Amino acid sequence: MKPIAISRLTICGIDELPTHRNHGVSHVLSVLDPDREDPAIFSDYAPHERTILRFHDVIDDKEGRPAPIKANVEAILEYGEGLKNSREERRDGHLLVHCHMGVSRSTAAMITLMAQCEPDRDEDSIFTTIRDIRPIAWPNSVMIAFADDMLGRKGRLTAALHRHYAAQLARDKMFEGWMTDLERGREVEFGRAIMPQKTSV
C-alpha cells in the first residue's frame, strides 16, 4: 500500500485485538455492528488514529439488519482519501482493519482501500494479497459491488471476488457449510459456478 505510506496491513476480529496492542498500530478502521459495544482494548494501544463505522454483515436485508448500503462504502473510501492525503506527514505506518470476526466486512474494506489507492493494480493480485494477509477472508459481496462501481473497475473487482470465492471453496470445504449457515449461499454459488466441474469415469 505504498501510495498511502502504510507498510504493514493487518486484518483481524475483535477477539484478536489484544494480540496486536504492542505491534505499533498507527491507524485503525473498526467496522462494528450498530448495536455492539465499542471494544475497550484500544485504550491499551499506543497513540493511534481510529475511525469507527457501523453497519451489519449481511448480503440481504433482514428484519432489523439491513444490508450494507452505498454510503457505508463511501465512508470507507473517504477514510482512504484521508490516509492518502496525510501520507506526507509520516514515513511509515501500520493499518489494522477489524470487524467482528475479521472475515467479511474487514476484508471487503481492505480490498476497497487497496483498489482505491492502487488504481492500476490487477484485481486478482489484490485478492491474492488479501488471502496472504487473512487466509479466512470471505469479503462481503454487497460491499465489493459498491466499491467496484464507485472506483470505476467496470465489474473486474466483482469478477475477481467470484474467483476468490472459488479459490476459498477449493482450498477448504468448511467455507461452503459456514457461509451457507450464515445465509450467504448466493456467494457460495458465485464461487461454485466458476469452479472446474468434476467428470465421472
Query: How far is 146 from 148, CA to CA, in rounded Å?
Result: 5
138: Cα separation from own chain's centroid: 8
CB 94 within 8 A of CB 10: yes
CA dihedral 57, 55, 78, 70 (to 10 degrees): 80
CA nearest to 148, candidates 111, 96, 117: 111
How distant is the alpha carbon of residue 23 from its chain centre?
A: 20
Whole-model pTM? 0.94
Three cell numbers written together for 147: 466499491
Per-residue pLDDT of the chain (201 residues; tens, 9 = 90+): 455 557 799 999 999 999 999 999 999 999 999 999 999 999 999 999 999 999 999 999 999 999 999 999 999 999 999 888 877 676 678 999 999 999 999 999 999 999 999 999 999 999 999 999 999 999 999 999 999 999 999 999 999 999 999 999 999 999 999 999 999 999 999 999 998 765 444
- CB 58 within 8 Å of CB 136: no
CA angle 19/20/25 to nearest 5° reads: 175
Number of neighbouring beta carbons within 10 Å of residue 91: 8
